[in-house]
Structure 1
Amino acid sequence: MQAPSGNSTPVYEFGPFRLNTRRRLLESESGTAPLTAKVFDTLAFLIEHQQRTVSKDELLHHVWPDSVVEEGNLTRNISTLRRILGDSPEAHRYILTVPGEGYRFVAPVRSLPEEVATPSAGQDAQAHEVTASELQVEQSPVGRGTIHDSTRIVPAHDPHGRGGPFSMVATILAVAFIVATSVAVWMGQPGFARTDQPVQSLAVLPLENLSADPEQEYFADGITDAIIGRLSAARDLRVISRTSVMQFKNTRQTVPEIAEALDVDALVVGSVLRSGSRVRISVQLIDARSAETNLWSEIFETELGDVLLLQMNVAESIARSIELRRTARETRRVTGSRPVTPEVYEHYLRGRYALTRPQRAAVPEAMAHFEAALALDPAFAPAYTGLSRAYRELGTIFRGGSPQAEMLPKSVGAAQQALRLDPTLAEAHVMIAAARQREWQWQEADTAFRHALDLEPNNAQAHIGLAHLLVAQGRIDDGVQLARKARALDPLSAEMAANVGWTFYFARRYDEAIRECQASLDLQKDNHSGLWFLGISLNQAGRFDEAIQILERAAAISDRSPGLLGSLTNTYARAGRRDDALRTLNELERRRQTGYVPSAPFVHAYAGLGDLDQAFTWLERAHQETSNLIWQLKVAPTMDPLRADPRFSALLRRVWLE
C-alpha cells in the first residue's frame, strides 16, 4: 500500500497505538511491532476505511493486487493483527468480523500529520548522548498485545573524539550477530512463542528496503548476507544460501508458499527503514508450519549521526553472554572480529553486490571496490576474500576469459592474505580449496574444503566443491551425496542445480544429470551453465539431435564461448556430422589467432573427431595451463577415446590420479 503523498501524510492513533503510513510503522509505548508488509497493508486499509465494512474480496484485491491467493492468507493476517493489538474475535475492540461480509475497524481513530507524532528534538538529543558502554537493550515481556522482544540500539560518541558519518558496518555487524544469536537462543529459551516441533531449517529472506533511496538496496542486502553468514555456522540448523533467498526479493508470495519452495520450517523476515536521521531495522522469526506464528521479534534503531565503531564490541559482548550456547570455536570467531570504518565496509558491500551481477563488467567493478577498501584498511580480511573470488571469476570462460594460469595465483594470494588476517573466513578456505584442486593437490584441497565446512556447515559452495573433488577421484557415491546436500542448501539457484547436474554427468548418471540441468533452466531460462551441462549430458546419453540443438543455442547466447564450441564440435563429430565439426573447429582456430582461447576446447574437439595425436598435444597444453579439464580427467566421459593410450595413464600419474 502506498502512503498518501505530501507533507500531511497522516498518522493514525487508536488506543495505545500509532500507525505511521509513510514510515510503515505500528508503534506503542512498549515498542514498534515488526509487521510484515502484507499485515501492515491489511491494517492500514481497514483503518483508512473504518467508516464501513470492508469485504474479504476487497481486502484480498488490495493487499495482493497482482496475485491470486487463498482466503486463509487474509485470515492469518487478521489473526496476527489481533494478537499484536491484544484483540480477539470475541472482544473485537479493534477488528470486528462481520459474518458473511468481511471486517470492520471499530476503535475510535484520530488522524494527525506525521510531524505532530514525530519525537521531539529534545528526546532525540537525550537518546543521542547515551555512551557505547551504556548501550541499552530494552525487552518487553511476552504477553498479549506486546512485542516478544523489542530492542533499541542507541548510538554513542567516539571516546577519542572522532566524529564522522553513520557507521553502516557497525550496524550491519551488530544487527547480524544479535539476530543470529537471538534465533539460536530462542530455540532453547522459555518465554517466547513456542511450537511443538523444533525448527530444524530456516531461510533469511531479503530485508525489505523501506528507505526512499533505492541506492540503499546494497545496505539492506548487506545486512541480509551478514545474518545468513552468522547463522550458517549453526550445526543443528539447515540455513538456505543467499542465492536462493534472493529469488524472493520484493516478492508477493505468501510465507507458506515461500517456505514450501525452500523446504524450511521457519523464515526470518524484516525490513530496513532509513528516514531522516534514523535507521530502523525490524526482524522476526516466523514458523511457517503453524499459521505463520511469530516466534520471535527484534527492533533495532539508531541515529545516523556520530556512531562509534565500538558498536562492534556490543555484538561481541552479546556473544560472550551466550558462550554456553556456542562452541568455543564460534565464540572465538565472533570475539576475534575487529572494528572497521564505514567507508571501508561500504566499498566491501558494493563489491559483493557487484559480484552478484552476471555482466562481465561487474567483475572489474567489484575488484575496484575491494581494492579501494584495502587501500583504506589493508588489514580488512573480507575484502581480500572478495578479491580472491573476483580473480577466480576473471579466469572463467563466461565472466572473464583471462588465462586461468595467470588468475589462479592471484586468487590464491588474495585468499591466503585473508586467512593470515582472519583464519575463520570459510569463503577464503573454499577459494584455497578450489585452487589446490586445480593444482592437483588433492589432499590439501580436501582439507581446505572440510575446514570451510567445519566453520560453516551450511556453506553450499563448500559442499558442491568437495562433491566435485570426490567425484574427480572416483569417489562417486560420496560426491553425489554431498551434491544433494548442496542442492538442499541452495534449492532455487539455477547455477547450483546445473552444478549438481554436472556432478551426475561425471558419475555417468545421465538421466539424473539431464533432470537437474532441466531444473536449472526452469529456474533461469537460458543460463549458460544449465544449457552447457544439459548439452554434454544429452551427448553422452546418445541423444545427439537434442544435444546439438541445446549446444547451438548455448553458443548463440554466450557470444560463441570457446568452451561451448569445443563441446559442440565433439557432439557434431559423435553424431556423424564431420563437416559441421570441422567448421566449428576452424572457428576455434580463427578465434585463437585474435585472442586467448583455452586448450580444453581443442582437446574435446579432437577427441570427438578421433584425432588422438592432436588431442594429446592439446592435452599437454591444458596441463601447462592448469586447466579444469585436468582435474576431471579420471572421470570425464569425453576422454574415453584416449583412455587406452599409454600417454593418458602417464598423464593421470603426473597429476596423482592413478
Structure 2
Amino acid sequence: MPVSPTENVIRFGLFELDLKSWQLRKNGSRIRISQQPVQVLAQLLERPGEVVTREALRQRLWPPDTFVDFDHGLNKSVQKLRDALGDSAESPRFIETIPRVGYRFIAPVTRGAQLGTSEPDEQTANHIPVEPISDQSTLVSQTKSRTNAGWLWLAACVAMLLVGAGWMAHRKQGRDGKMAPIHSLAVLPLNNLSGDHEQDYFADGMTDELTTMLAKDSTLRIVSRTSAMQYKGASRPLPEIAQALGVDGVVEGSVERSGDKVHMTLQLIQGSSDTHVWADSYDGNTNNVGSLPEEAAMAIAKKTNSAVAERAPMRYVNPEAHDAYLRGEHFWYSENGNEKAKIYFQKAVELQPDYAAGWLGLSQYYGGGMLDGHLNPKEGLAPMEAAAQKAVELDGSFPDAHIALCGSTFFKEHDWARADRECVRAIELDPRYSSAYHMRARIFAAVNRHEEGIAQEKIATELSPSGYEWGLARSYLWARKYDLGIANARLRLESSPRNAHTLETLAALYRCKGMYKEAAQAWADTFSARGDEVSAASVRRAFAEGGYPAVVRWKLADLKKQSMQRYVSPVLFALEHAQLQQREETLSSLEEAYAARDPLLLWVQNDPAYDFVHSDERYRAIIKGMGLPPAY
C-alpha cells in the first residue's frame, strides 16, 4: 500500500526509516547503509506481519532485464540490513526468515510525521552511499538543527533528547533490573587460567560442554562451537562480537584446574547494551567436573526464563573417560590432529563403553579421515558404521549421532534414501541444527538433485553463517554454477581471507571455469593459509614455468610423495590424471577407489574433468555399481 506524504517515517523499536530521504536512523542518528538493503526494508515495512516472498522482492528490486545473481544479492542485502539493526536470522527481533519462501517483519510498526530529527540536505536526500562503513557498530550522526523552527519546538526536541538519554542510561545501568530479553547466546572460549598451555584442551572442552548443555537445557538459540571459537583470545568489545554472531547475549569466563580441583567462573552479558546480567562461580574436582557445565547451563536458563519444561537426567560419565574425550575433541579440531584424536576417543570408550559422546567422536574420526582422502575405506567404513550405531543406541536424542549414522550409511551402503532419513531425524530433534542441512546438501549433490542441495545449503548458511563458510560455494561448484560459486566464495573470503576450505573451493571453481591463472593463485593461497609456504611457492613457480598443466603435474608428484608415507585416496590421483586427459590412469585410479568403496567417488560426476570418460563402459560400470543416477 503506498505511503502518504504525511506518513513518510516508519518507526520500529529504536529505529526509523524515512521514505522521503531513504535514511535509516537509530535514536536520531543516521546509519550508513547501501540503497538495496534499505529498499528491502521498505518492502517488508509495507506489509508488517506478512510474508514477503523472495520472488516478490526480486520483481520489485531487480528488473527482469537485469542480469544478477539474485539469491546472492538478496541474501547479502538482508545480512547487511540485519547487521545494521543488530538482528539475527537465528533469533530475529525484526526480520524473520521463512526458509525457501521469503521474509516477514515481526516487530511493531508505527507511522507518522518526523519528530525532532534532522532535515536532510539536498546531497543526502539524493544519494545513498554504495558501501557501508567498515565498522557497522559505529553510527554516524549527520543531523542538523532546523533553523526555521521556533524556540518552543527546539525546547521540546531538547527535552525529548534528554529524556531519551536518561532512559538509555537507566537501561544501561540496569537500575530497575529490566532489559531486553535474551533469546540467543554465544559461549565464548573460556580462558585457561591454569598457567599451563597443556590445559588448553580442558578449557576448550568445558566451553564445548557448556554450549551443548545450554542447547539441551534451554530454549535459547545457541551459536555453534565453530562460529564462537573464532573469537578465542579476541580483544574486540563484547557488543561487537554479539552483533557479529547475531546473538542477544554472550557468556564469557575462565576455568582453572590445579591438581584435582577445578574452578570455573562465568558471566552473562546482554550484547547490545553491554550490561551485566548474571555471574557465578563453580567449584568441583575431577570426579564431578562434568556436572559443572550442566549446573551453569541450568542457572543461565533460569535467569533468561528459557529453561525447558522437562530435561533428561544427566548420565554418569567416568572422569577419566571424560578427560580422554575432551582431549580427543581438542585434537579433532586441531590441524593434523586426527590420529591423536582417535587415540583419546578410543580410550574414552574403553574406559566407559556406554559413553555415547566417545562413540560419536570415533565415528567422526573415521568419516573425516576418509573424506580428507587420508584414511583407507577398507579400514574406516566398518568401524565408522559400528561407532555411529552405538552412539545412536546409547543416546537417540543426540542429533550429531544421527548425522554420523547418515554418513556411514551413505558412504558404506550408498543407500542415500536411508541416509537422508537419518538427516531428517536430526532435524526433527533440532530444527536449527545446521550440520543436518549441510549433510543433506552433500547427499543431494551426489544423486544429481542439485537445486535441492543448494536449497539445503542455503538453510545451513542462514542458520550458521560462520559454520560452513565454503558450503554454498561448494554446492554451486557441484551444480556447475561456477559464476555463482565464485561470487559466493569471494564474498566469504572478505570476512575470512585465510579460510583454507573456501580458498580450495575457489581454486576448483576457477579451474572448472577455465580461469587457470586465478586457479593457480587460489591454490597457492590455500597452501599459505595452511602454513605451507614451500608448496605455495612451488605452485607459483610451476605456473610461471609451464602454465596450469605444470601445476597439475606438480600436485600429482606431491601426491605420490605423500603416498610413500601415508594412505592417499585413489580419487585424488584420478582427478589430477583426468585434468591431464590421461584416460588409462584416470580409469585405473577410479576402479581402485571403487574396489575400496571410497566415499570420495560419490561426487565424481559433478566434476567436468571426468567428462571425457563419460562414454567409457568402465566409467559407467562404476557409476552403476554405486547405484547413482547417471549424469551422462
Q: What's the TM-score bracket when you normalise by the shorter of the two chains? A: 0.5 to 0.7
Superposition map of 1:209-228 within 5 A: 209-210=192-193, 215-228=198-211
* Contact 1:634 1:657 survives alignment (8 Å): no
Of 504, 508, 513, 2:480 maps to 508
Counterpart of 1:623 in structure 2 is 594
Cα-Cα RMSD? 4.5
- Tell me which amino acid in the other structure corresponds to 1:454: E
Correspondence for 1:461 among 431, 435, 448:
435
1:385 is matched with 360
Match of 2:274 in 1: 292
C-alpha contact 1:241 1:489 (8 A) present in aligned 2: no
Distance between the aligned counterparts of 2:453 and 2:348, measured in 1? 37
Contact 1:210–1:272 (Cα < 8 Å) also in 2: yes
In the alignment, which of 434, 437, 452 is matched to residue 426 of structure 2? Answer: 452
- CA separation of 1:313 and 1:547: change in aligned 2, threshold 3 A: closer
> Cα distance, 1:377 vs. partner?
1.9
Partner of 1:202: 185
1:409 & 1:650 partners in 2: Cα distance? 24
Query: What is the CA-CA distance between 1:274 and the residue it aligns to?
Result: 6.2
Task: Summarize deviations over 1:523-573 as a string: whole Å, max 9, x none.
Answer: 555544233211110011221111123235546877999x99xxx9xx99x
1:270-349 map, 5 Å: 270-272=253-255, 279-286=263-270, 288-289=271-272, 291-294=273-276, 296-302=277-283, 304=285, 331=311, 334-335=312-313, 337-349=314-326
- Deviation string, structure 1 residues 569-601 (Cα, Å, up to 9, x no partner): xx99xx986566556546655665675332113
Query: How many matched pairs?
Result: 461
Residue equivalent to 1:443: 417
The correspondence for 1:480, drawn from 418, 441, 454, is 454
Report if aligned partners of 1:464, 1:500 keep a CA contact under 8 Å in 2: no
C-alpha offsets along residues 327-359 of structure 1, whole Å, 9 cap, x if unaligned? Answer: 89x73xx22x4112322212211221222211x
Q: Which amino acid aligns with 1:441?
A: D
Counterpart selection for 2:330 from 353, 368, 388:
353
Structure 1 segment 484-499 matched on structure 2, within 5 A: 484-493=458-467, 496-499=468-471
AA aligned to 2:366 is Y
1:296-325 per-residue CA deviation (whole Å, 9 max, x = no partner) reads 425243355986989899899999999x98
Q: Label 1:601 to 1:555 Cα distance change in 2 as closer, same or farther (>3 A).
A: farther
Q: Is the Cα contact below 8 Å between 2:217 and 2:308 reproduced in 1? A: no
- In structure 1, C-alpha distance between the alignment counterparts of 2:619 and 2:205, rounded to whole Å: 48
User: Structure 1: which amino acid aligns with 2:357?
Assistant: P
Partner of 1:154: none
Preserved CA contact (<8 Å) 1:437 1:445 = yes
Establish whether residue 544 from structure 1 lines up as the match of residue 519 from structure 2.
no
Please say if residues 446 and 469 of structure 1, whose CA atoms lie closer than 8 Å, have aligned partners that are also in contact. yes
Identity %: 27
Structure 1 Cα separation of the partners of residues 262 and 404 of structure 2: 38
Match of 1:376 in 2: 351
For residues 187 and 564 of structure 2, the distance between their equivalents in structure 1, rounded to whole angstroms, comes to 49
Q: Matches of 2:247 and 2:290 in 1, distance apart? A: 35
Counterpart of 1:433 in structure 2 is: 406
- Equivalents in 2 of 1:488, 1:267: separation in Å? 20
> How far did residue 221 of structure 1 move?
2.6
- Give the distance between the partners of 1:583 and 1:379, measured in 2 at CA: 47
State the secondary structure of the residue aligned to 2:236: coil
TM-score by length of structure 1 reads: 0.59
Residues 392-421 of structure 1: CA deviation (Å, up to 9, x unaligned): 3443547xx232332222222222222222
* Unaligned runs of at least 5 residues, structure 1: 1-66, 87-142, 145-192
The DSSP-based 3-state class of the residue aligned with 2:251 is: strand
SS, match of residue 396 in structure 2: coil
Q: Sort the Cα spacing of 1:389 and 1:649 in 2 relative to 1 into closer, same or farther, 3 A.
A: same
CA contact (8 A) 1:247 1:492 kept: no
CA-to-aligned-CA distance 1:229-267 (integer Å, 9 cap, x gap): 234459975432101101112322122211222223333
> Which residue is equivalent to 2:445?
471
Show structure 2 runs of 5+ residues with no match.
1-134, 141-164
How far apart in 2 are the matches of 1:465 and 1:273?
A: 37
Q: Is it true that 1:255 corresponds to 2:238 in the alignment? A: yes
1:412 aligns with 2:394: no
Answering whether residue 622 of structure 2 is matched by residue 654 of structure 1, we say no
- Quick check: 1:528–1:554 contact (8 Å CA) kept in 2? yes
Question: Relative to structure 1, is the Cα distance of residues 237 and 307 closer, same or farther in structure 2, using a 3 angstrom cutoff?
Answer: closer
Query: One-letter code of the match for 1:632?
Result: W
Range moving further from structure 2, 592-601 or 458-467 = 592-601
The residue correspondences of 1:555-570 to structure 2 (distance < 5 A) are none
8 Å Cα contact 2:210/2:297 also seen in 1: no
Q: 2-side partners of 1:593 and 1:308: how far apart?
A: 44
Mapped contact 1:385–1:418 kept (Cα < 8 A): yes
SS at match of 2:267: strand
3-state SS, counterpart of residue 378 of structure 1: coil
Structure-2 residue corresponding to 1:30:
none
Change (3 A) 1:216 1:560: closer
Distance between the aligned counterparts of 2:170 and 2:193, measured in 1? 21
Return the alpha-carbon distance in structure 2 between the equivalents of residues 253 and 586 of structure 1.
44
- Give the secondary structure class of the aligned counterpart of 1:478: helix
Alpha carbons 1:240, 1:458 under 8 Å: kept: no
**1:4-83 map, 5 Å:** 83=173
CA 577–476 in structure 1, closer or farther in 2 if over 3 Å, else same:
closer
The residue identity in structure 2 corresponding to 1:507 is A
Letter aligned with residue 427 of structure 2? L
Residue pair 1:633, 1:652 contacting (<8 A) in 2 also:
no
Tell me if structure 1 keeps the 8 A contact 2:218–2:307.
Answer: no
Instruction: Measure, in 1, the Cα distance between the counterparts of 2:512 and 2:369.
Output: 29
SS in 1 for 2:624: helix
1:408-462 per-position Cα deviation (integer Å, ceiling 9, x unaligned) = 2222222222222222222222222122222321012111222222223333322
SS at match of 1:632: helix
Is the partner of 1:550 in helix, strand or coil? helix
Cα distance in 1, alignment partners of residues 578 and 474 from structure 2: 20
Kept in 2, the 8 Å contact 1:608–1:638? The answer is: yes
Q: 1:81 to 1:366 in 2, by over 3 A?
A: farther
Distance change in 2, residues 1:498/1:407 (3 Å): same
Is the 8 Å Cα contact of residues 227 and 466 (structure 2) preserved in structure 1? yes
Deviations 1:62-91 (A, max 9, x none): xxxxx9x9799xx99x9599836x6xxxxx
Residue in 2 that maps onto 1:267: 250
Contact (CA 8 Å) 1:391, 1:407: kept in 2 or not? yes
